[in-house]
A and B are shown apart, each in its own frame.
Chain A
Amino acid sequence: MVAGELISQSIVNGILLGGIYAVAALGLSLVFGIMDIVNLAHGHMLMVGAYVAILVFAATGITPLVGMFIAMGLLFALGVVLQKVLLKHVVGEGIEQPIIVLFGLALILQNIGQLVLGGDARTADLGIPGSGIDLGFAFLSLPRTVTFVVAVVLIAATWAFLQYTRTGQAIRATAQNRTAARYMGIDTDRIYVLTLGIGTALAGAAGALLSMLFPIDPFVGWSYLLKAFAVVVLGGVGSILGTLVGGVVLGVSENLGALYLGGGYRNVVSLLIFLGVLLLKPEGLFGSGGGGGE
């Protein structure tokens, strides 16, 4: 392999990784854009989703691609309960109270994970042997390609739901103007419940996908929360297309940064991009300041 192929391989790996970053960020972006709260427990919900897929796989042998739907269902329920029991009292009461509640939830999830499953890293097996497609200029790892395709399908499905269904349109309307939406007969409380449910379900899906590629331990929540933040800022809050592009840009940048500067600088590169976008284009690449989709 020559240097040019190393570059193209890094770009391909970055694109494949970026798809999962995008799913990880999508739920965060959705909740932030519609409910105006920063879900600090998003990374830990992702961790829970990953553990669900791993445990289902370990107990039954069901591939995490199927386990992902179980994780999404459980996480949707968690989001619904969270909104109905805890967050409904603090949403709209300023930014501090939801942040404190969600920070506490993150710590609780982390400690439950540690208590129940210990601190060991765990992985699930996609059931695909170590093989892939040699494109000549790069090697397409099959597990990464499969997870990327699933990620893109999930993102497209979310976009279509928000764009073409009445519930999706109600969610977008609530994001644009909650009071006006209420005057138009939209049950905004129900929309918030649904939004948090979808956001956490997407975190669960991202976790299940990640569990097929990377080991998961109870502490990974914070690092994926940071990556999700970077993607949201890069792509623009509430923008689904922006989230996908942001994820891919982050994945490619990290890989090229690791190639040229060394692996020790991988996260420095993503942080620099994050700060650069905040400085130069704070609304992000596709940001409009709100809205549930294009």
Chain B
Amino acid sequence: MVSDDSPVTRRSYLKATAGTAAVASLAGCAFGGESSDDTLTIAGTVPETGQFSSLGEDLRRGYELGQSRMNEQLDRDVELILQDDESDAQTLRQNLQQMTSNNDVNMIWGSFSSLLVTAGSAFAENQNLPFLGIAFAYEEPHRNDNYEWTYSPFPKSRDVARSTLGTLDLIPEEERPSRIGIWEPNSGWGKEQADYWENRLGEEGYNIVLRETFEIGSQDFSTLISQSQSADVEVLLSNPTPGGGITAVNQMQSNNWSPKMLKFVRGADPSAWWSALEDAGAYALMCPGWVPGLTGNGNQRLRESYTSEYDTEGEYMPVNVGGSYNLTQVALQSVQAAGSIEAGDIQSALRSETFQTVIGEFGFEDNGLPAEGELTAPTGQWWDGAQRLAYPNTDSERSLDFRYPIPPWSER
């Protein structure tokens, strides 16, 4: 504390304060202003441990490939700070808090699943920072939480239903199934997705013969299997967690029952699906946002970058690499269009621009939803250890003719 009755000390204090202010001001002109303003700093989290850990590496790779691309394309440095959120919403919030406190963050990305993405989104909305989230099909938060900063370049529940209908249309009319069963996870997104399936397929003349709920984290699907068998379900639709989806198929096998068509959105997304189920997991459909077999808008370059960067000879990239890379393409184009890294400028660009990404060409509504019907909602199918594009049809060698029906267990 400086006392008025100690003039020498007071004078020294004033000198020191003025000196510090001058140096700081000079430093701001010479270094701080230019360097910190020029660097685009992105904070994000990925689930490298915890229940979604099988997807963490894929997300990280997609983001890192995108960061490299942004560094090439933008006339400024792009710094990406990624941390492990442990598949836990509270850890995710703590990580984001720490990253934004210690860095001049301009944008936030990630993570996986509606649970984690909504947690990140809530933080970004509070901080007035642009937020991009994938693996986030849940629509209701966009409409009810008055999102201003959250944008989701990803197929939403309505798009998943549209894609399901498109996949069914690939089956010749005389062979097309009509009896639909829906296993609804006991969650907001579970209900929303089941409503879309029921309404959209019902409008097209399909017969919804079963709609039953189950608890997320459930270990025993035997009752649902018995009910589906009893209702003669031909097409089984659900959006379980990856662990739940694997459990359900295991138990279908042990109960010797299988539908003719199986679509497990999110459940069949990770590569853990095949490592856990192998041939029992074949024919399963998913709608993960991106699938090998899509063409145009940088797909070829993405594949080349991936194989060269990660020294892999696999023909089929994990689906979540493409999904997260698509997010980075939106980020790149929004910054280019904004011409700055100010949050408000990027937000305006996200609202007004159209984006070309590996999942098509689309813009956003003000609430952050992708404009209806614009982006591609690809449906993939597990076949021979790889996820390949089943819908829509493309001429890529990484797509396949949709395989239907699933043969009985005894013939597999």
| Chain A residues with a Cβ under 8 A of chain B | 1-3, 5-6, 9-10, 13, 17, 114, 118-123, 129-132, 139, 141-144, 213-215, 217, 219-220, 223, 254-255, 258-259, 262-267
Contact = CB atoms under 8 A, between A and B. Distances in A.
B306 interface: no
B123 to A, nearest CB: 23
B12 interface: no
A181 to B, nearest CB: 40
Contact of A130 (B212, B213, B219, B256): B256
B227 interface: yes
Contact of B253 (A118, A120, A130, A263): A130
Contacts of B215: 263-267
A122 B220 CA distance: 15
Contacts of B386: none
Given A123-B246, A258-B223, A267-B215, A1 B230 contact: yes
Contact of A120 (B53, B222, B224, B255): B53
**Most interface-central of B242, B246, B250, B254 (chain A CB within 10 A):** B254
Contacts of B224: 258, 263
A121 B242 contact: yes
Given A10-B222, A114-B50, A132-B256, 13 more contacts: A3-B230, A17-B222, A119-B49, A120-B270, A121-B246, A121-B247, A121-B272, A131-B256, A139-B256, A141-B255, A217-B243, A219-B51, A267-B215
A259 B223 contact: yes
Interface of B: 49-54, 87, 183, 186, 212-215, 217-224, 226-227, 229-230, 242-243, 246-247, 250-256, 270, 272, 276, 409-410
Contacts of B218: 263, 266
Contacts of A144: 254
A121 to B, nearest CB: 4
B254 to A, nearest CB: 5
Contacts of B276: 120-123, 215
Given A13-B222, A259-B227, A129 B409 contact: yes
B220 A10 contact: no
Contacts of A141: 222, 254-256
Contact of A263 (B51, B53, B223): B223
A290 B87 CA distance: 42
Given A141-B256, A266-B215, A266-B220, A119 B53 contact: yes
**Most interface-central of B50, B255, B410 (chain A CB within 10 A):** B255
A6 B226 contact: yes
A214 B255 contact: no
Nearest to A128: B254
B267 to A, nearest CB: 11
Given A129-B409, A139-B255, A259-B227, A119 B50 contact: yes
A244 B251 CA distance: 23
A138 to B, nearest CB: 9
24 contacts: A1-B230, A2-B230, A13-B220, A13-B222, A13-B226, A114-B49, A119-B53, A120-B54, A121-B247, A123-B276, A130-B255, A131-B410, A132-B255, A141-B254, A213-B250, A217-B51, A223-B219, A254-B220, A255-B223, A258-B220, A263-B183, A263-B186, A263-B224, A266-B214
A69 B381 CA distance: 39
Nearest 4 A/B pairs, CB to CB: A263-B214, A264-B186, A119-B53, A130-B253
B220 A214 contact: yes
A121 B244 CA distance: 9
A9 B223 CA distance: 8
A199 B331 CA distance: 55
Contacts of A118: 49, 53-54
Contacts of B212: 262-263
A143 B255 CA distance: 9
A223 B227 contact: no
A120 B52 CA distance: 7
A139 to B, nearest CB: 7
Nearest to B186: A264
A215 B213 contact: no
B196 to A, nearest CB: 19
A6 B219 contact: no
A247 to B, nearest CB: 14
Contacts of A266: 214-215, 218, 220, 223
B247 A214 contact: yes
Contacts of B54: 118-120
A13 B246 contact: no
B250 A9 contact: no
Nearest to A144: B254
B48 to A, nearest CB: 9
Nearest to B53: A119
